[in-house]
Structure 1
Amino acid sequence: MALQKKTIRLLILEDSQNEAERLVSLFRNAGQATRVHRLTSSDDLAEALKQTWDLLINAPHSENLDPSEVIGAIRRQAKDIPVIQLTAGNDAEAITEALMLGAQDALPQGEDEWLILVANRELANLEERRARRSAEVALREAEKRCQLLLDSSVDAIAYVHDGMHIYANRAYLEMFGYEDVEDLEGMPMIDLIGATDQSAFKTFLKNYQTLEGNAELACSGIRADGESLKTRMHFSPAAYDGEPCIQVVIRAENDSAELQKLREISSQDPVTGLLNRNAFLEVMDAAVERAVNAGQSASLAYIRVDRFAALQAEIGLADSDQLLGQLASLLRAHFSAGTQLARFADDVFTALQPGVTPQQAEPELRKLLAKVEGHLLDIGGRTVQTTFSIGVAGLDEKTAKAQDAIERAHRCADELGDGNALKLYNPADELAAAASRGNIVAMLQQALEKNSFRLLFQPIISLRGDSFEHYEVLLRLLDPQARKCRRPSSSAPPTMQGWRPRSTAG
């Protein structure tokens, strides 16, 4: 459930003012801020539909306006307003008729808890649809900008599907000596490869789908005039006009050894030789894309060196670099060749294991904990021993951003105060974790879900002999561990834990 809620704009078709107010009270008692309009006529409906609404609840019958007319008006205007039709009883025929008219759901009148559950579901679906439409607009704008960048890029870029060109920019045409992109459309890319390298190119392209992320191939190219040129091709998965394809970036291979060395240096941490933070974030982005689009799960381990600041103060900066280098070597020896290792921060390593879930990675990581704990490091002529704290999070089809997985693993590692331990991220603990970090909204949400609020009534005696009974109403939040009411000090101002509204009863 989302931690933040916005005001719901609610339409109600109900002749009874009292019944309409009762429905509104249901939503407000469920924690939903609500703005309501009660429909009274066809003109009122037409005026109301000029605005944006989140939900419509129809009574079984109305003398002012037929429910089917309301649903029909919404469909004619193509308004995205979820409709919940109430029925006089649990009548299967009436429910089926309402669904056929276009209502999102139908249920018997008076089933209040059922109504709130259905309303919450439809509101969540509405938010998803709105978010998707916004994302589609943003995507179209991004595609326009990308197309402009492609057309004006100084790099030779082409998109290839099943080995055939479907797009090539101006730099690509100039590199291979073609005048117009139509000369390349439908041409197999292998026709631009030198005869001696065509076999290797075929094998590479055939196996590319099984490779992880980006890949490179050095080969010779053939221009339209028959002239040969040495090239280095960079392949990466992409989509063009909504179709999956391969993006190929080609650069002339001049001083290739120096350029290759420069590329390696720019992506490596100089102390450990592992990937640096920026390079690892690119690897994570590619892993998230594979998880979402191809269902290829992965496991991220956030490995923090325990008490690194104290060790650094003890052995000095130079020797602490030596310590990190030896730990990096230990990690290389422990993990398989397919694992992407990086130095993510001063005292943090990260390991991305493709094709495994956190539960599957746990035994290997626990072996790593035991190995490091029993390993003696020779640093500058002295023996040093350290341990790891490891937080683990998974990448799956629900992972929207790489940063989300990194933050989850980071939080798990931070919760291991004593060190030399491992913790797997559990989605069910997310709300509790946010509440424990002091997130006020999360604390309130958790209290509402666990029924942790208590109302205390304290009598107030009138000194003037008033015949009415007066009470002070105190709202208290139960302590999650002791299950006792948290009481603020008498001098403290009203807070979330001690809100003090005045109430009287006669």
Structure 2
Amino acid sequence: MHSKTATLLLITTQSSEAERLVATLREDGLASKSVSIPNAERLGETITQRGCDIIICFSDERDLNLDEVLTAYRKSTADIPLILVTDGENHAGLTAKARRSGARDLVERGDSERLKLAVRREFSDLVKRREAQALNDRLKDCEQRSLEIIEVTSAGVAFIQDGLHIETNPAYPRLFGFESQEEVLATPFLDLIDAGSQKRVRDILRPSDASSTSPAELDLTCKRTDGSLFEAHLLAAPAEYEDEPCLRLILKANVPQPIAQTGSNAAHATGNELGLISFLAEIETHIGQDRNVERPFAIFYIRIKKSVDLLRDLGLTHALELFEEFAKTLDALVADKGFLARLGDDGFGLLVDGLGEFEAKALAEKITSNARLPNQRRQNGDATADCEIGYFLVSDRAAAAEDIVNAAHRLCIGHDFTDRDHVPGQQPPTSLAARVKQEDEDGDVTIARKIEYALRNDQLKLVYQPIISLMGDSQENYSVLIRLLDEEENLLEAKDFIGPAIRGGLIEEVDKWAIRSAIRTIGEQRKAGHNLSLFLNLSEDTFRNPSIVLWICDCLREFDVRGNWLTFQFQEELVVGNLASIGKLVDTLKKIKCRVAINRFGVSERPELILQGLSLDYVLLKPSFAQSLADDAQKQQRLLQLATLAKEFNVKSIVTGVEDARALTVLWTAGVDYVQGNFLQRPSPSLEVQA
């Protein structure tokens, strides 16, 4: 699936010019990310590594060698359009040279409308070319897979032209008793058919029928080389072999009756992809429009153990036969329990309504004990389970259906299931909110009452901490924090009441109050001439609400505020378990021009996967990176890696929790874009940076 906006590769020696151009294209929804290089030296490498869509070269810059750029572009094999930005004097003279080098358009500097049209046109054409190439690749891949399957299938497969064999798979000669493929290729097809069946076979082999697009089927009697006969089922269909028209014959001897699929659990027989689609659809039937779970349910992910080893040791066909037998056993075992679907060659999803933790664990243990591979594969007395299970209970407000399935899958693959007494459930939970809700603390009721009082009486307060640029950015960026003033006029910090707010189901109301108040503040400050931008956190309960973006739009309209003055933050810890939900929300926020950031970045083992999966503007590194930074070489190295990684994805880096001047020197050297911390300025109700 192609992105709806282009990733730009800018060849320029002036970064400020590049940033202005990207901002202009982003405003019109034409670009999402950009990469800048000063010359043609790393052109090919950058194209390969960064997945760029359009190259824009500022050809009129004095320090840029255009001939080198055009030479490097001609050598590149990537299908990426090149647009040259020129000055008015050299525009006409460059046209012929640019066209010879493959440039798609020339745009005069300052003609932003022409540039937008060029980018829109070239990206649209590029997407169509890529889609056509993808279809062509899929066709070739399907043809190759067909040939691979033909080689290993137990059915006899042959390609026939004018009644003669031109190619067969290994099983075909064996059906007739030939010792080699060469022998059967020298034998006309009709010589292998009993006289009583030859007339019907001739009708299939006629050239007029060969041009038909519909397959033909018939039962017939065939002859082996020793003169014995056998009954077979023939399927003939038009095909091509080495670009020549022919007939493809599939011949199966002694075909057994197909096993009927019964009940709703037949979904796993319709293909893995269809099984996944039907399973996700079934999940959605339990969830209302506001993502509230109307019918609580449990999701089980069941996987055949050591399936990779079985495929390697037994071979594809025999291993898949074992998997099919396991599927039948599992279907019989849980047919009356819930909705079963096959999600992969070795994986199955099961949805069961109304289970609690005890019932879910009992069902998982029953499946683990009784869902077995065929008995002949196990040694006598072997009680080792043949499958492993992860299950996840869903209630309250739900994430995207994909995230729910992923949660059960992660629980399945993240545990050792040798001990059947240890069947994983919700430990550990897959989201931050779930973890917090399991840790109710004394005093929660009191704090929840204070929160409710503050919401009713406008006793919540916003405070702001500046995010200061190390690169000379003139934007006034502030992180928005919340304070609570209780009935006794005591001021509580967020850490004192956010946990109880989550556990008490009040966090979404707190978030909405903060968002609306922050948007109102932006509107007031912008009218006063301040170039203000605010960073706001979104909790898990809030971003799971599908109507939250519409609510944000209402607030923007109410206070006449633009979306790009707001940056919404998600904790990295939340992103890992809610990637599908957050991915959809990020795309929607981008449509209203809002910016997106990941907070407490650097927690996961592979943060680059988050940068690849989401279109981000900023990452805020967790505060611990800045603590004692000047004296910790290992921490400095890790911070440098993360800052460099962010730059590779054209994402700005922000280090929070800065505590001393020595850390600033390290951060500046590492190329960090922004810093935030109490050393620079403590959170304040004022929006003025203190000297």
TM-score (norm 2): 0.35
TM-score (norm 1): 0.46
